[in-house]
């Protein structure tokens, strides 16, 4: 967790898992009741690379690719580990 | 006449909508949904018959014991075992394989011996043997597969020397759905003095399986992949082999006697009869009741009908997937060689992307290694998406799946 960012990730995130497979992806499930707020915050801070019909948003933030789904899920691609993904999310959601 | 639409009426969960779409459940190789009959049987057990099994004399315990033993008998009949003595209830396929590894392997394998596995095994049929190999020092050999994931028969024959004491092989690959000819493999193994353990997790729920016909020494499978609850699985073992084995778990129920000797100040222990000597502690009684209901449900449908339905869906899905130019399907295309499992990747997306995208449309598939990393390495892919079918899936669902995949392709 980034020490400079004061945010309780548990407020927004229901679950984070390192995905199975060679790709070091972290799958994020936002809390249903907070998903729209979380998506809004992330879209404000991350750079939009591409959107598919408002369902998927391909974003970049600090060198990491993030694919965000309007269903309240996200894949943080090639994160070093779960801690790095948490750090990035803390910045995006603050 | 097998009617998947009629079958669907028995599965309450299929009425759900996910992300504003009707649920399409295509992750049946991971676990299956449960029919009302299984849910009701378990509910009735807790509402009317709940008690611990064996050794109590009161009515409820006798009822629970009868239900628990009936589950062993039904399971024995379902796979063609000689009797319930050959049916050990465990938590699932993984525990069943571990039981063989520790009860048989730990005491019988020697450093100079070999255990034969294949590159298409699920991790649960690799890891216990790798752990044991580190303890004992025996050699593990992996039989290769071809570019479609089919077993290399010649390689198997070459590797099957008299040093091999056990062949551990999956009946059906959980990644490609490839069906292995375990009957022929068992014959070859026996001719060379080796025993055979078959991982039936993906075969027993989907096709008729008869252990006497296969002549395997052990067969492992899970209840939750065949409409039953999670937490109960089965190890079949030939009676004459099980009788010679020492237990894996120790505790109550699996013993006949634990007598304290005041001279040595130690306890002398003798084992219970089969299958109980392998079932230490209070078992998963409600799970067994649920498994009975699941088996009765499948028997009523007919396992040949189950197989035919899945083959038909698989053939249809593979044909329709050919319409998608950016999709690569792995494994054999011929449904005669495989069960209802289709692994694939979409160009430009990793498997988790595909699974999350399909989830947005209410379609549940699996992504990743599917606990079979060596096979993915063989295919030279970092992961795969996997659709797997069962009795309640329909062609309309496959149409929806294909149309959604086409949308994903177009979004590239």
- ipTM of the complex model: 0.77
Q: Per-residue pLDDT for A3 more than 70? A: no
Chain A residues with beta carbon closer than 8 angstroms to that of B343: none
Q: Per-residue pLDDT for A89 more than 60? A: yes
Residue A88 in domain: yes
- The CATH number of residue A69's host domain is 3.30.310
Residue contact A70–B356, C-beta within 8 A: no
CATH of domain B4-30+302-410: 3.90.1150.10
What is the residue range of A73's domain?
Answer: 9-93
Domain boundaries, chain B: 4-30+302-410, 39-299
pLDDT, averaged per 10 consecutive residues of chain B (412 residues), comes to 96 96 98 98 98 91 96 98 98 98 97 98 97 98 96 95 98 97 98 98 98 98 98 98 95 91 95 96 97 98 97 96 95 88 93 92 94 91 95 98 91 70
CA distance B12 to chain A (A): 23
- pLDDT tens sequence across A53-85: 677 899 999 989 999 998 899 999 888 888 889
Q: Given 3.40.640.10, 2.60.40.10, 3.10.20.30, 3.90.1150.10, which CATH number is that of B39-299?
A: 3.40.640.10
For residue A5, what pLDDT is reported? 59
- Please state, in angstroms and rounded to a whole number, the distance separating the CA atoms of residues B2 and B5: 9
Residue A4 in domain: no
For residue B58, what pLDDT is reported? 94
Residue A67 in domain: yes
Residue A3 in domain: no
Q: Is residue A1 very low, low, confident or very high in pLDDT (cuts 50, 70, 90)?
A: very low
For residue A41, what pLDDT is reported? 95
Provide the number of structural domains found in chain A. Answer: 1
**Best B345, B353, B363, B367 residue to mutate vs chain A (most A CBs within 10 Å):** B353
CA distance B271 to chain A (A): 42
Residue A60 in domain: yes
- Please state, in angstroms and rounded to a whole number, the distance separating the CA atoms of residues B64 and B51: 6
Tell whether A21 is within 8 A of chain B (Cβ). Answer: yes
- Please state, in angstroms and rounded to a whole number, the distance separating the CA atoms of residues B406 and B409: 5
For residue A47, what pLDDT is reported? 95
Alpha-carbon distances of B2 from B145, B255, B302, B310, rounded to whole Å: 35, 45, 9, 11
Does the predicted model carry a pTM greater than 0.80?
yes
Residue contact B383–A20, C-beta within 8 A: yes
Chain B residues with beta carbon closer than 8 angstroms to that of A75: 352-353, 356
For residue A54, what pLDDT is reported? 75
Paired with A30 in beta bridges are: A13
Which residue numbers of B are catalytic?
A: 371
The distance of Cα A45 from the centroid of its chain, to the nearest Å, equals 11
> Which of B236, B219, B226 has its CA nearest to residue B339?
B226
Nearest CA in chain B to A28: B356
For residue A2, what pLDDT is reported? 47
For residue B409, what pLDDT is reported? 84
Q: Are B340 and B390 in contact (CB under 8 A)?
A: yes
Residue contact B411–A67, C-beta within 8 A: no
Sign of the CA dihedral B155, B161, B163, B167?
Answer: positive
Residue with tokens 């407020």: A11
Residue A1 in domain: no
Q: Which two tokens stand for residue B235?
A: 């190890």
């Amino acid at each position: 967790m980034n020490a400079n960012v004061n945010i309780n990730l548990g407020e927004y995130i229901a679950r984070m898992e390192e995905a199975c497979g060679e790709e070091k992806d972290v799958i994020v499930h936002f809390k249903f009741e907070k998903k729209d707020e979380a998506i809004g915050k992330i879209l404000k801070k991350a750079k939009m690379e591409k959107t598919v019909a408002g369902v998927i948003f391909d974003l970049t933030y600090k060198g990491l690719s993030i694919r965000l789904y309007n269903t309240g899920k996200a894949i943080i691609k090639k994160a070093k580990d779960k801690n790095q993904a948490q750090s990035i999310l803390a910045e995006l959601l603050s | 006449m097998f009617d998947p639409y009629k079958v669907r009426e028995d599965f309450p969960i299929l009425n759900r909508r996910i992300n504003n779409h009707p649920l399409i459940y295509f992750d049946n190789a991971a676990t299956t949904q449960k029919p009302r009959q299984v849910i009701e049987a378990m509910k009735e057990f807790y509402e009317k018959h709940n008690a611990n099994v064996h050794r109590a004399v009161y009515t409820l315990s006798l009822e629970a014991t009868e239900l628990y033993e009936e589950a062993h008998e039904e399971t024995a009949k379902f796979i063609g075992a000689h009797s319930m003595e050959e049916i050990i209830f465990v938590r699932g396929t993984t525990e069943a394989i571990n039981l063989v590894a520790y009860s048989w392997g730990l005491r019988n394998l020697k450093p100079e011996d070999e255990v034969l596995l294949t590159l298409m095994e699920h991790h649960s049929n690799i890891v216990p043997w790798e752990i044991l190999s580190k303890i004992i020092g025996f050699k593990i050999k992996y039989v290769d597969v071809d570019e479609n994931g089919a077993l290399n028969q010649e390689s198997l024959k070459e590797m099957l020397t008299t040093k091999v004491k056990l062949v551990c092989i999956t009946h059906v690959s959980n990644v490609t759905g490839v069906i292995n000819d375990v009957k022929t493999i068992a014959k070859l193994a026996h001719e060379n003095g080796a025993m055979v353990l078959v991982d039936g997790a993906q075969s027993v729920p989907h096709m008729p399986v008869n252990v006497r016909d296969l002549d395997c020494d052990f067969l492992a499978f899970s209840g939750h992949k065949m409409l039953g609850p999670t937490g109960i699985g089965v190890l079949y073992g030939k009676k004459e082999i099980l009788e010679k084995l020492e237990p894996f778990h120790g505790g109550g129920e699996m013993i006949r006697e634990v007598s304290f000797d005041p001279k040595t100040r130690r306890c002398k222990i003798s084992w219970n009869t089969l299958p109980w000597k392998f079932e230490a502690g209070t078992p998963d009684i409600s799970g067994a009741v649920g498994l009975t209901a699941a088996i009765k449900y499948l028997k009523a449908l007919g396992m040949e009908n189950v197989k035919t339905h899945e083959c038909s869906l698989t053939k249809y899905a593979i044909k329709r997937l050919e319409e998608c130019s950016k999709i690569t399907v792995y494994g054999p295309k011929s449904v005669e060689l495989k069960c209802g499992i289709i692994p694939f990747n979409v160009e430009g997306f990793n498997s988790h992307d595909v699974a999350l995208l399909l989830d947005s449309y209410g379609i549940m598939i699996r992504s990743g290694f599917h606990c079979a990393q060596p096979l993915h390495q063989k295919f030279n892919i970092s992961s795969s998406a996997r659709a797997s079918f069962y009795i309640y899936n329909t062609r309309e669902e496959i149409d929806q799946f294909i149309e959604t995949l086409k949308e994903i392709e177009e979004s590239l």
